[in-house]
Structure 1
Amino acid sequence: MKKTPLYQKHLDYGGRVVDFSGWALPVQYSGIVEEHKAVREAAGLFDVSHMGEISVAGPGAADLVYYLVVNDTSRMQPGKVMYTPMCYESGGVVDDILVYMKAPDDWLLAVNAANTDKDYEWILEQASGKNVTVRNLSDETAQVALQGPKAEAIMSRLTKAPVQQLVFYTFMDAVDLEVGRALVSRTGYTGEDGFEIYMPTDIAPQLWDRIMEAGKEEGLIPAGLGARDTLRFEACLPLYGHELEKDITPLEAGLKFTVKLDKTDFIGKKALAKQKEEGLKRKIVGLEMLDKGVPRHGYEVYAGEQAVGTVTSGSFAPTLDAYLALALVEAGYTGLGTELEIDIRGRKKAARVVKTPFYTPRYKR
């Protein structure tokens, strides 16, 4: 297994390390529910150094990024961040990524860990002859996520830079954090306010210690992948390989707001325009369990004897004290209040279509 620069810190803090897509990462420290609640009520610190970072730079960089993604990056300015899927010609998703505009000729793409090599090869392929330089910076970049309502107070103790002025989906580069400089981004994957910090790998252990020390009085605790998943799940933030993949389009995943069909061109435009015109045959919905049972990824969803969908994510939701699921379901069964059943280990358990997101995110706008 690959180790992040913070591997020893996870051991020092009592993290239970597991194999996550080939990375040795903590699933939990004190416990998933405790860590989940800390992020909702105070703050949690996550090691997300397994995530990938790809630089796209040069005279043709802006045009290439515009063509690669479904969202409209031509509206961006330096210091802005944009969330967007990156699609195949079929409309299926290569990955969902964050796009950072540093300058018109300098862009950073933050990609999902398991997709880093695939994304890099895909971007290189599209970059051929476009007057750009594409570099995979993942091995030289560490990343931590400081998340929760107390994140701003903690972040403000770490630097003299006016990070409190950052609003959701903006960033500052080369922020002086005493142990070194880092890119500080007001983004996250928890449904709470917070920051994601990109830094050279060699300063990551010292910065982790500094953040933990600065957050002591605010109730900051280290948090693992288990809580990261339950937090993103409550906020209905998609996870690649679950709500998004090569066979699921952004429209089916409920990400219509990212798909700008009025763009001049982008990979997958024709297929997505056709899908929108013809109407969705299936889409992601939220389900609440009416019977006892834990819905899990891959479980089938039924309307009577007919299989009408599949669970993409399912879990106990600590904030809501309920067992919930996201599922890809045939369009005729997606209305709010529709009663369905989920096959849980050979037994059909009742569930009902409910509004999403389950938890309303609290971002700084």
Structure 2
Amino acid sequence: MKQTPFTQKHIDLGAKMAEFAGYNMPISYSSINEEHHTVRKNAGVFDVSHMGEFILKGENALDLIQKVTTNDAAKLKNGQAQYSIFTNEHGGIVDDLIVYCVEENKVYMLVVNAANIDKDWNWVSQHNTNNVEMHNISEKTALLAIQGPQATAILQPLTDIDILNLKYYTFAKGNFAGVPNVLISATGYTGAGGVEIYFEDKDGAAEKIWNAIFEAGTPKGLKPIGLAARDTLRLEMGYSLYGNDLDDTTSPLEAGLGWVTKFTKDFTAKELLQQQKAEGVKRRLVGFELADKGIPRHGYEIVDDAGNIIGVVTSGTQSPTLGKAIGLGYVQTGNAAIGSNIFIKVRDKQLAATIVKMPFV
């Protein structure tokens, strides 16, 4: 298993560790509920150094990004970021990603999911017909996400960047905890506010940054948080997770990601998705709350009141904030309306649920 620059820190803190995307990652330090509430109410630190980062440079960098992603990256100015999708030739999702505009029309950073680094690199490379300079900096890039309503106030004394006023989906570069050339962004995956810190792990930078964050934050209740709470936090916001809610067979339109699918430019599978939009999709990703006790799990069947299979659960959990079970799943379009009653098939039981508007909290 691969390690992040912080793996030994997690072990020393007594974290429950497990393999995730080939990395030895912290799943939890205490209880999932406690860690979840820490982020919702105060601030927590996630090690997400397993994520992938690619740098694309040159006069044709933007053209390449436009070709392989669904969103319109031409709208990005320096210091802006954008959520986007790689689509395959069948209209399925290769991955979801964030595009960072470092230097307009010249330098971009793509942040991709950990499990898809090689797949994404190959996908972008095979479309790179105009010799765009590409660098896979995933292995040497460390990434911490400090999330929660108090995150920026805790971190502000450590940097010369004005992170208190950093707008959503923007970023800036500067010094952080005495380390130069640190990129700080506000893209979030928890819905609780906060920032992400990207830096190269050299000259003891990871040790320096980790220690500075916890020296500043521990007296104010900042805690390390595992991937289990990250999952419950993102699910409460209705954010999709690749491999669960998105994959090579789901289209952006089915997944409710039409808002990042721009038909004003050419991209892979544009015509196919335009046709899908015109004809309407046969299934949709919806959010639901359980009325009965039980936890909806990935792969459970969704049925109607007559017991007919109408869909499948893609993500599910017990919401720490709501105190009830929630989930995401694909259902036939005719059954996808808000307020529709559905049932989750759990072994020999059918648990009653209702389709609700997202986010859940």
TM-score bracket for the superposition, by shorter chain length: over 0.9
Q: Describe how 1:87-102 pairs up with structure 2 within 5 A.
A: 87-102=87-102
TM-score normalised by length of structure 1:
0.96
Q: Describe how 1:221-232 pairs up with structure 2 within 5 A.
A: 221-232=223-234
Q: Does 41-50 or 172-181 show the bigger shift?
A: 172-181
Q: Describe how 1:67-78 pairs up with structure 2 within 5 A.
A: 67-78=67-78
Report the Cα offset of residue 131 of structure 1.
2.9
Over 3 Å counting, the alpha-carbon distance change for 1:175 and 1:67 in structure 2 is: farther
Query: Which of the residues 236, 239, 245 maps onto 1:237?
Result: 239
Unaligned runs of 5+ residues in structure 1 are: 360-365
In 1: Cα distance, 2:138 partner to 2:126 partner: 18
Matched, 1:85 2:85: yes
Matched, 1:299 2:300: yes
In 1: Cα distance, 2:269 partner to 2:154 partner: 42
In 1: Cα distance, 2:23 partner to 2:162 partner: 34
In 1: Cα distance, 2:346 partner to 2:311 partner: 14
Matched, 1:7 2:10: no
The alignment of Structure 1 onto Structure 2 pairs a total of residues equal to 357
- 1:325 corresponds to which residue? 327
In 2: Cα distance, 1:271 partner to 1:346 partner: 39
What CA RMSD, in Å, does the superposition of the two structures yield over aligned residues? Answer: 1.1
In 1: Cα distance, 2:150 partner to 2:176 partner: 20
- 2:201 corresponds to which residue? 201
Unaligned runs of 5+ residues in structure 2 are: none
SS at match of 1:348: strand
- 2:52 corresponds to which residue? 52
Moved over 4 A (4+): none
In 2: Cα distance, 1:20 partner to 1:148 partner: 23
On the 8 A contact 1:175/1:184 being kept in 2, the answer is no
On the 8 A contact 2:15/2:27 being kept in 1, the answer is yes
Matched, 1:111 2:112: yes
Q: Describe how 1:282-297 pairs up with structure 2 within 5 A.
A: 282-297=283-298
On the 8 A contact 2:176/2:209 being kept in 1, the answer is no
Matched, 1:183 2:220: no
- 2:141 corresponds to which residue? 141
- 1:363 corresponds to which residue? none
On the 8 A contact 1:9/1:205 being kept in 2, the answer is no
TM-score normalised by length of structure 2:
0.97
In 2: Cα distance, 1:174 partner to 1:112 partner: 25
- 1:274 corresponds to which residue? 275
On the 8 A contact 2:161/2:174 being kept in 1, the answer is no
Report the Cα offset of residue 163 of structure 1.
2.2
Matched, 1:341 2:324: no
Report the Cα offset of residue 205 of structure 1.
2.3
SS at match of 1:285: strand
In 1: Cα distance, 2:73 partner to 2:180 partner: 30
In 2: Cα distance, 1:285 partner to 1:343 partner: 16
- 1:214 corresponds to which residue? 216
